Amino acid sequence: MANRVAVLGSLNVDTTYQVVRFPEPGETISAQQRSSAPGGKGANQAVAAARSGAKTYFIGAVGNDDEGKLMRQCLEDERIYTAHLTTDMNHGTGTALITLNSEGQNDIMVYGGANQAMTDAVLNGTDQVFEDIDFMIAQFETPQAVTLEAFKRAKAHGVMTILNPAPASEILPELLQYVDVIIPNETESEVLTGIKLTDQASMDQIADTFQRQGVKTVMITLGERGVYCAKGDDRQIIEPFLVKAVDPTAAGDTFIGSMTSQLNPDLSNLAEAITYAQRASSLTVQKYGAMPSIPMGFEVEEALNK
């Protein structure tokens, strides 16, 4: 049976400018190309889960605008359940401006809009969702207070919770008590713990820090170095699939969503799910855009079997 996943998170319409190099302060440069696509960490993770076969619910908010209609339709086109995607009459739909250079590196500026204005009201009437799901995912592009309430409800229903603390900001201390799995990247790990990530010993220190606060499983996505995983005392780095990246946007989101689609609720197949997710991410970075670059499950399986 397919995994059942709920994502509490952000939806953004992304506009990407492709440039040879990033501008210096005060400098004006020409963009080689401009494109727009649906995105947002929450939406990307939900789409990644759905495309890899998970029954997926989305909990979030959009504005009463064309961008909001676009984002709602995009999720519905992916067969994601949107009954709990609310319309905020006072704030616009989230947007992101992405600058992508010729080396495949990006800078991102985000307008939170309805994402950041979200309150616990988005959770009204979600009891049936929590009764149905195996996993709940959240990020930091929506208010932590709402995530805390959602994770409390998830744990009350025996649901496994996954936190992607991105973009990094100080974590509500109580929130970590309700987190089963935390997945930061290298930069976020350093910001959240104050420990500079240099080698596996420093990764172990970061994992210890989170585990002392109640999080049993810690993953750190390391880009071309793979994924560090600490499940209790079991510590390992799982090697990546090396490819030529053209756009890293949504790589981390693809990893989280696709991994959750494959993961057993008791985490008994964690290494296998991570390998699947890394293969999915390796496909994402070879295409431009956020949501359009996320692979289908059959594409991931074909790539794994090569």
Please tell me the pTM assigned to this model.
Answer: 0.92
pLDDT digits (tens, 9 = 90+) for 134-146: 999 999 999 999 9
Instruction: Examine the residue annotation and report whether 253 is marked as an active-site residue of this protein.
Output: yes
Average pLDDT, the chain: 94
Binding-site residues for substrate: 12-14, 40-44, 141, 253
What's the CA angle centered on 160, arms 156 and 165, to 5 degrees? 110
pLDDT digits (tens, 9 = 90+) for 230-240: 998 999 999 88
pLDDT digits (tens, 9 = 90+) for 75-122: 999 999 999 999 999 999 999 898 989 888 888 888 999 999 999 999
Binding-site residues: 12-14, 40-44, 141, 185, 221-226, 247, 249, 252-253, 284, 287, 289, 293
Active-site residue identified among 88, 134, 180, 253: 253
Nearest partner of 13 among 254, 246, 291, judged by Cα: 291
What is the CATH topology of the domain spanning 4-304? UDP-N-acetylmuramoyl-L-alanine:D-glutamate ligase (3.40.1190)
pLDDT at 180 over 90: yes
